């Protein structure tokens, strides 16, 4: 697997995407800087993605900031030892509390989040989504940003749906299944296409909706 590990990799991917789909040349021009968005594999990275589920980027950053001040270092053992008062003070919803605890327990029981980054996407996503609290979107985003996987496009992401719809003139915005089919044409660089459209969303909507990395 060719990991997306540097900004040069992102640029190579963007060049390839514009050859694959010439419509993306205009999108690239409007998207501004397309960042690498690479994080260190492990529990902290996955926890930040779980916190960001179904909330704005600003809210996710605020909640995760409180969580990391209350639990430092942020480890599976510390989460398992934390009480409900801590979760409430951090601002975590009950579903996210349950998700973090389930993931912490899975890691404590042997789930190797570093090893998952070396697997192909289908196998890694299957192993991750077997854990309560990890859905397909969470698994895909983890592999994009922690593994630098080059060919994943989280089509369930509302910001990506909105960005693709706006950029390519698709109204109403493409739903998950439609976007999955559309993104297939961008393989093997769908991971860079994700970064491109999150950047396009940032520039056209004035706020960053990409998950934290």
Output the average pLDDT for the chain. 96
pLDDT in tens, 32-83: 999 999 999 999 999 999 999 989 999 999 999 999 999 999 999 999 999 8
How sure is the predictor about 212, in pLDDT bands with cuts at 50, 70 and 90? confident
Above 90 in pLDDT, residue 133?
A: no
Q: What's the CA gap between 94 and 112, in Å, rounded?
A: 25
Above 80 in pLDDT, residue 1?
A: no
| Full-model pTM | 0.95
Q: Quick one: pLDDT at residue 2?
A: 82
3-state helix, strand, coil in the chain (%, to 5): 65, 0, 35
Domains for the chain: give ranges and CATH numbers: 7-37+151-205 (1.10.1670.40), 43-145 (1.10.340.30)
């Amino acid at each position: 697997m060719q990991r997306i590990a540097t900004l040069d990799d992102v640029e190579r991917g963007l060049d390839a995407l514009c050859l694959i789909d010439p419509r993306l040349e205009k999108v690239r021009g409007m998207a501004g800087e397309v960042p690498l968005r690479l994080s260190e594999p492990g529990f902290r990275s996955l926890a930040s993605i779980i916190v960001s589920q179904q909330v704005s980027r600003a809210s996710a950053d605020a909640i995760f900031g409180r969580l990391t001040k209350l639990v430092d270092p942020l480890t599976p053992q510390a989460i398992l030892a934390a009480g409900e008062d801590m979760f409430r003070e951090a601002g975590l919803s009950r579903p996210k509390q349950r998700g973090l605890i389930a993931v912490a327990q899975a890691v404590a029981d042997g789930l190797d989040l570093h090893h998952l980054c070396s697997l192909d996407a289908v196998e890694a996503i299957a192993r991750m989504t077997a854990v309560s609290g990890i859905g397909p979107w969470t698994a895909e985003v983890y592999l994009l940003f922690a593994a630098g996987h080059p060919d994943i496009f989280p089509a369930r992401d509302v910001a990506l749906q909105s960005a693709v719809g706006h950029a390519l003139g698709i109204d109403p915005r493409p739903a998950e299944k439609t976007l999955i089919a559309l993104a297939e044409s961008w393989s093997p660089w769908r991971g860079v296409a994700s970064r491109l459209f999150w950047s396009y969303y940032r520039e056209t909507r004035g706020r960053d909706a990409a998950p934290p990395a």
